[in-house]
A and B are shown apart, each in its own frame.
Chain A
Amino acid sequence: MPELWQLSVSEAADLLRRREISAVELTRAHQERIAQVEGNVRAFVTTLDDQALRDAERLDQRRSEGEQLGPLAGIPIAIKDNLCTRGVTTTCSSRILEHFTPPYDATVVARLHEAGAVILGKTNLDEFAMGSSTENSAFFPTRNPWDLGRVPGGSSGGSASAVAAGEAMVALGSDTGGSVRQPGALTNTVALKPTYGRVSRFGLVAFASSLDQIGPFARSARDAALLLQAIAGHDPFDSTSVDAPVPDYAAALSGDIKGLRVGVPAEYFVEGVEPGVRQAVEEAIETLKAQGAEVGECSLPHTRYGVAAYYIIAPAECSANLARYDGVKYGFALRGEADDLIDFVSKTRAHGFGAEVKRRIMLGTYALSSGYYDAYYLQAEKMRTLIKQDFDQAFEQFDVLVGPTSPTVAFELGAKTADPYAMYLNDVFTIPANLAGIPGISIPGGFSEGLPVGLQLLAPAFEEARLLRVADAFERVTDYHTRWPEALNAKRGARKRR
């Protein structure tokens, strides 16, 4: 029998249903795990120790009264700290929201409560989700459980590390340019960015509204499917959420990918991709081939414009989205040192925001300014259209596209903090999916010198089920996803195979 914190969601749900374990036991096991490893990992900004136990107790009570509960009932989950939780601080890992307590739940949080998930805590992120290493947190960097000297990726590094380290069974993150998939790749977790509009953004503190999307972290495709099932679907409070039927994601996990047309974009295997990453991904593609997939090369010619377009559009939107943090209504306010209103707001923002956030606000303000709008924002929107057309054309021939999630494995803490542009390039393969609004998943695809390599799969809009089916099929013939990071002295390979 593995440790309780090592179980998959479906295994735990079975045990809970048969009442062989209680939600309280499961929650306690995770809290003990957190106590054991959190000092090294530092995934959480806030833990909800008593509240989580009370929630678990209530679920056990309901179950003992004979209530039929869904697969997430009693499952301990971690939530990225840019998702609003009623009565629980939601900091965005920023000084400016350090003490901000929302009076409302994000729609995804409300849906998780309905499903009976037990929220263990709020996880660390790059401030306002701006970054690729979680080093831009105003509080502390999160470490990669696979090598505590390395970053877990970002911006959802806290959620990724929590799941990788067994501190949470599953977690939610948000992905604007790769912030779910890239940390997923660097921490050996399954990390899904759904189609834009598939999951409500209500209550997700906005970074770049036309790109942001909430997605699950898990240790298997099936667990990711169960979590996506709970959060997907139309929300009348988000006008950009799409009113389309939500398929049964777990039911789509047939294990069969025979005849699946897999495209390999040439532009995703270029200079800058580490040899170890390239090798792992090529082996993974061979595995898919061996399972009956038909693999062919394809081209996404405008890929190289993605980062540039992204770093116009995302900062432009963020410059407006972050304008509300002025110290007047809520959050941090620098009192007593200001001469007048303008001075007060300026000083509050100067002290409240970190360097990367300020850099992006300035970039975006500049790009939208009179005289520059056409040259920057409008050009970026045109590039976005071309990138979307690349995918449309590729998906005429292929069912999914495959490549590396990140050009590198997890890098050392501090390695890229001095060079923002090098940090930005980490997202070169993840950004296009956000610009096009299509779903993407990063799955454990192998290892390079002991560090995880993520395999990214992309599909047409609303084909999350297809991505999960491929991910699950791949898991059936590989064991990468079952491995635990030795850095935390976890039991290796202790999880049962399905």
Chain B
Amino acid sequence: MATAPTSTSVEYEVVIGLEVHSQLLTTSKMFCRCPADYANAEPNTHICPVCSGYPGVLPVINEQAIDYIMMTALALNCEIPDFCKFDRKNYGYPDLPKGYQISQYDRPISRNGYILLDVNGEERRIGITRVHMEEDTGRLVHREGKNSYTLVDLNRAGVPLMEIVSEPDIRGAEEARLYMEKLRTILVYLGVSSGKMEEGALRCDANVSIRPRGQQEFGVKTEIKNMNSFRSVERAISYEIGRQIEVLSSGGVIHQETRGWDEDRGVTVSQRSKEYADDYRYFPEPDLPPLVISREWVERIRAQMPELPDAKSKRFVEQYGLSARDAGQLTAEKALADYYEAAVAAGTSADTAARAKAAANWTLGDLRRLLNAGSLDITESRVAPQGLAELLDLIESGKISGKQGKEVLEKAFASGDTPAAVVEREGIAQMSDSGELERIVDEVIADNPKAVEDYHAGKTASVQFLVGQVMKRTRGRARPDMVSPLLLGKLGAP
């Protein structure tokens, strides 16, 4: 409720339920064999009579999509009943070629699950009402102008969609964003969704209402649509909470309606009133018999389940001795966790605990900074996990300093060369030849009589100046841990 703009906000409790749609990364569409990936396809090239709603054609269920939904259901701790059925949701729009969408109404594939969230250190359990299957619509391309017209592209029509409906358990805008992020993490871990909100592969509608704290009945809700990023989910809901509080505080009433999020203006705008709600005339899909889901099928899916983020994070703490915070950050993205583990495994360090910690620090620190600066994904990193391991080996063996390591990483990241190659090319190496270092130390003592004098006069801080001079003359190649003892030995007692 930190987002609520008025002082009366403390009197209200926020109630949010999210309906999330995710496209599934199946090879083919939900009910036909057309490719499901339409990203770079010319309009209306990934279509067939089935997904373009020709007369006489029939749907055939894509079992891979059912597998993916079952994986999701298991990951969200849902029940999977013995059978589910399909229904027709009737409405007319040119992007819906059959004039109805095949969906699931009263017998979804799964129901009654939950997601655990860490909200500022507090564990929150958000109920999942149901996870069910449906199909995506086509896309309309509107051409504005004097002779405006609209084109229909059916490449997306029939792409498998999974709908995940939460209970009204979410209590704030930030919590809603965290829920979305956690859900995305799980879906990407499972490999069932790209998780890309910006591309519409993951979509979120929010039902938002407020009620005086302590009241049992829900307040009138509004449905917020058109939120295209995790950030806009939080912003839009935050705005809507504020708007509702303002309306109620000033004696007004909330109307049940659909409101669209206007990203540029940062406001929600009324789209249509639910008083004229569509009547979807759901009825059982006669072209698809109820789908019987055997326990063997469920167990086969369970056996294929990958390690999920919570389990992985716990393991990172136990196996690598990481802090819960670092483990949480590393496992928030499966690709990042994979990168980290590959880097640890590729190293040759004898001190595995220290190496695991170092790898975490470098991955979450310098490497992530470089990635963020270039707006790159971990999978696009120009330093491979083996490269990071090589860098850590170079530092641990004393060939380069930690500070040099940062420079090497930057150069390796920029060039795509391995850290060893960068060190070789740039002549970056710590001065491990004590004879040469000794000569330079002697030179520095000879060239800086004032500092030496100060030292002997009791100003021991002047040693730092002399160390700095040595580092300068070696262009940073000297190991600081070698310079100080050498210098102090030569200077004698202060």
Contacts and interface: CB of A to CB of B under 8 A. Distances in A.
A368 interface: yes
Interface stretch (A96-104, A385-393, A412-420): A96-104
Interface string A63-99: 0000000000000000000111000001010000100
Interface in A306-341: 316-317, 319-320, 322-326, 328-330, 341
A103 B55 contact: no
Contacts of A100: 55
B56 A239 contact: no
B58 A320 contact: no
A238 interface: yes
A102 B56 contact: yes
A239 B52 contact: no
A411 interface: no
B287 interface: yes
Decide if the interface of chain A is mainly helix, strand, loop or mixed.
Answer: loop
Contacts of B58: 201-202, 237-240
A444 interface: no
Nearest to A128: B55
B287 A209 contact: yes
Contacts of B94: 326, 328, 341
Contact of A84 (B55, B99, B152, B286): B55
B47 to A, nearest CB: 10
Interface string B66-94: 00000000000000000000001010101
B61 A239 contact: yes
A97 B55 contact: yes
B98 interface: yes
A239 B289 contact: yes
Interface string B274-315: 000001011100111100000000000000000000000000
B488 interface: no
Contacts of A206: 55-56, 287
Interface stretch (A5-13, A118-126, A132-140, A369-377): A369-377
Contacts of B152: 328-329
Interface string A231-249: 0000011111000000000
Nearest to B86: A239
A180 B279 CA distance: 35
A206 B97 CA distance: 15
Contacts, number: 103
Contacts of B97: 324, 329
B54 interface: yes
B279 A102 contact: no
Interface residues of B, number: 29
B288 A205 contact: no
Interface in B35-67: 49, 52-61
Contacts of B60: 236-237, 239
Contacts of B286: 208-210, 240, 317
B290 to A, nearest CB: 11
Contacts of B288: 239-240
B100 interface: yes
A206 B98 CA distance: 12
A368 B55 CA distance: 22
A322 to B, nearest CB: 8
Contacts of B279: 369-370
A203 B287 contact: no
A325 B57 CA distance: 14
Q: Which 10 A-B pairs have the closest CB atoms?
A: A323-B99, A210-B286, A209-B286, A368-B281, A205-B55, A205-B56, A324-B53, A203-B56, A370-B279, A84-B56
26 contacts: A82-B56, A90-B55, A90-B56, A104-B49, A104-B57, A106-B56, A201-B58, A202-B56, A206-B55, A237-B60, A239-B58, A239-B60, A240-B286, A240-B287, A316-B283, A317-B286, A320-B90, A320-B98, A320-B100, A324-B55, A324-B99, A325-B55, A329-B152, A368-B90, A370-B281, A373-B281
